[in-house]
A and B are shown apart, each in its own frame.
Chain A
Amino acid sequence: MAYKDEQLNEEKVFKDPVHRYVHVKDRIVWDLIAAPEFQRLRRIKQLGTTYLTFHGAEHSRFNHSLGVYEIVRRMIGKFTNYPHWNREERILSLCAALLHDLGHGPFSHSFEKVFKLDHEQFTRKIILEDTNIHRILKRVSPEFPKQVADVIAKTYADKLVVSLISSQIDADRMDYLQRDAYYTGVSYGHFDMERILRVMRPIEDQVVIKSTGMHAVEDYIMSRYQMYWQVYFHPVTRSAEVILSKILHRVKFLYETGYTFKLKPTHFQSFFNQEITLRDYLRLDEAVVYYYFQSWLEEDDFILYDLCERFINRRLFKYIEFNPNTQMKEWMELYRLFQDAGIHPDYYLVVDSSSDLPYDFYRPGEEEERLPIHLQMPNHELKELSRHSDIVESISGKKRTDHKLYFPKDLLEAVKDHKLKKQIKEILYGQGEGQLVD
């Protein structure tokens, strides 16, 4: 029997708090899960620094990847008898779903920004270069690894296959919304996925929703909207993210300026030098990052020490709302005053914007730039969701951006020059400290 079709003697199940069970019967899926590159995902948290806000959010990319695989497995089970669904694409879809986040690194959002990386490129490298994952995929056919990589990169010819893991209502989002809601403990991310799976219809190059399922999709869009504001965009999480980025910036700066570290940052060297090999990338997980953060507490550089201490002990920056249009002059003045106070503004006075985050909202079709969610009406006509749903329309046009100014309140309080401190506080808090959020 071809490897692609090989089945396990008995079905394996993973107990899962979101989907109850994740079912595996295909040999290739079982082998991929066992590969070291996939097991590494156990050591990468799905939500990065969010655990500092919602203590339950310790779940990993491993859990999520299994969840996306399980949703795609269920979708395909329902698509089997539809004419546009090509049954030959089943194993490709399952592998792509399982491996779609393979290239994520520790705290990948901050790492990508500071070191100019792209986890999708690493996903592609892990699939196409000499790895266990590659060898397993290649047993299907020499072209199979490339097909899997193309589906994940959305450059595979069969758009229907791509849309299962990358569209406005895909298995990726459906899993992370439910999983992140479960682990953070919030009550927002819930929607009736079973119902959505029942009303999904594969047609030509996309999955559309039978119009009677519109309300289930409205719930999904609302949960996405709520999760964005309440979890993903949480200002405290953003504060932790700001500190994490500044640690990476500081250590990079120190390395580049010849600082002598007490513990040589071996695991980071190729990142500093922009010569990252796949081996270097794969061996950097969160455990390694935390080890270095701990070791940097022993460094003589105060800024590095202080930022690491804040991150490890959750002494985060405070923040105020900031409007770059009306407060630019204040910011420039603050920058100067921070310098005068001996608080390095490049590390301790940080504006964070909504566009700095890797999450998005549902957006209706805009000049065909993104494929919207389509409802299939009883006469088979397709209608864009927000043109038919008042609820979705009402949140589609809302202002969804903001900017916050982060700073360490404790360092300000410690400024000895009272006049200077007063000047800074007047700009930050205006007449009082009402704006300040602890």
Chain B
Amino acid sequence: MLTNHAKLIKFFHVATKVTGRKKLQKIIYILQQCNIPFEEKYRFHIYGPYSEELTLRVEELCNLHFLDEIKEDKGHYYQYHYQITSAGNDFLNQFSLDMPDMEEKVSLLNGQSSRFLELVATMLYFADLEKSDVEAKVHELKPKQKYSAEEIARAWGFIDEVI
């Protein structure tokens, strides 16, 4: 029961604090690619892999007061900050979750910018393509982001490190 909710709470417990919905979406997607068993289904949206299921599940966790969501007005958009609550920790303690250790990966991912994670997640989404085709796809689908060759090279390195 509510195992997928518990897995997310575990993530927030490990991450302590996550800033930005886009960042959260991309971190969970990348962790999935690292075989951490999050089950939220992802689709490619305009800005990369996105899970409606994850959005709704996080909303449920907030409504249940297992997560604190702080909305910050950034002028032309809102930014959201997430943190586990004591009720969330209590809930987690009642669960016997069998999750692999993800502390190191979460810390590494949480330390990156959402722009970079968007690039990494997009590259992973096309992982079955040739390397050059992946890069072409990034430029084709994200022309406005104007990712540089250095960023893409760094993303390849990051993928090697994290996956």
Interface residues of A (CB under 8 A from B): 112, 118, 120, 153-155, 157, 159, 323-325, 328-329, 331-332, 349-351, 353-355, 360, 363, 365-371, 399-401, 403
**Which of B62-70, B97-105, B153-161 touches A?**
B62-70
Query: Which residues of the other chain, B, contact A403 by a CB distance below 8 angstroms?
Result: 2, 60
30 inter-chain pairs at a CB distance below 8 angstroms, sorted by A residue, are A112-B41, A120-B43, A153-B44, A154-B44, A154-B45, A155-B137, A157-B141, A324-B2, A325-B64, A328-B94, A350-B1, A351-B2, A353-B5, A354-B56, A355-B56, A360-B52, A363-B55, A366-B78, A366-B80, A367-B22, A368-B22, A369-B21, A369-B45, A370-B47, A370-B50, A399-B63, A401-B56, A401-B59, A401-B60, A403-B60
Which 7 residue pairs across A and B have the least CB separation, nearest first?
Answer: A355-B56, A401-B60, A355-B57, A325-B64, A154-B44, A351-B1, A367-B22
Total number of B residues with any Cβ neighbor in A under 8 Å: 38
Smallest CB–CB gap between A374 and chain B, Å?
12
Query: Which residues of the other chain, A, contact B55 by a CB distance below 8 angstroms?
Result: 360, 363
Smallest CB–CB gap between A348 and chain B, Å?
12
Contact partner of A155 (CB less than 8 A), chosen from B21, B44, B60, is B44
Contact call A331/B21, Cβ cutoff below 8 A = no
Query: Which residues of the other chain, B, contact A371 by a CB distance below 8 angstroms?
Result: 45-46
Which residue from chain B places its CB closest to the CB of A155 in the assembled complex? Answer: B44
Contact call B140/A157, Cβ cutoff below 8 A = yes
In whole angstroms, what is the CA distance A394 to B25 when docked?
Answer: 26
In whole angstroms, what is the CA distance A112 to B44 when docked?
Answer: 18
In whole angstroms, what is the CA distance A360 to B45 when docked?
Answer: 14
In whole angstroms, what is the CA distance A354 to B57 when docked?
Answer: 8
Which residue from chain B places its CB closest to the CB of A158 in the assembled complex? Answer: B140
Query: Which residues of the other chain, B, contact A323 by a CB distance below 8 angstroms?
Result: 64
In whole angstroms, what is the CA distance A349 to B1 when docked?
Answer: 9
In whole angstroms, what is the CA distance A153 to B78 when docked?
Answer: 28
Contact call A155/B2, Cβ cutoff below 8 A = no
Query: Which residues of the other chain, A, contact B110 by a CB distance below 8 angstroms?
Result: none
Contact call B78/A324, Cβ cutoff below 8 A = no
In whole angstroms, what is the CA distance A367 to B52 when docked?
Answer: 14
In whole angstroms, what is the CA distance A399 to B46 when docked?
Answer: 26
In whole angstroms, what is the CA distance A363 to B65 when docked?
Answer: 21
Per-residue CB proximity of B35-52 to A under 8 Å, as 1/0? 000000101111100101
Query: Which residues of the other chain, A, contact B46 by a CB distance below 8 angstroms?
Result: 154, 159, 368, 370-371
Contact call B60/A354, Cβ cutoff below 8 A = yes
Query: Which residues of the other chain, A, contact B94 by a CB distance below 8 angstroms?
Result: 328-329, 332
Of B4, B43, B63, B66, chain A has the most CB atoms within 10 Å of the CB of B63
Query: Which residues of the other chain, B, contact A159 by a CB distance below 8 angstroms?
Result: 46
In whole angstroms, what is the CA distance A367 to B44 when docked?
Answer: 16
Query: Which residues of the other chain, B, contact A354 by a CB distance below 8 angstroms?
Result: 56, 60
Which residue from chain A places its CB closest to the CB of B137 in the assembled complex? Answer: A155
Of B4, B25, B45, B46, chain A has the most CB atoms within 10 Å of the CB of B46
Smallest CB–CB gap between B12 and chain A, Å?
15
With contact pairs A157-B140, A325-B65 given, residues A400 and B59 touching in the complex (Cβ less than 8 Å) = yes
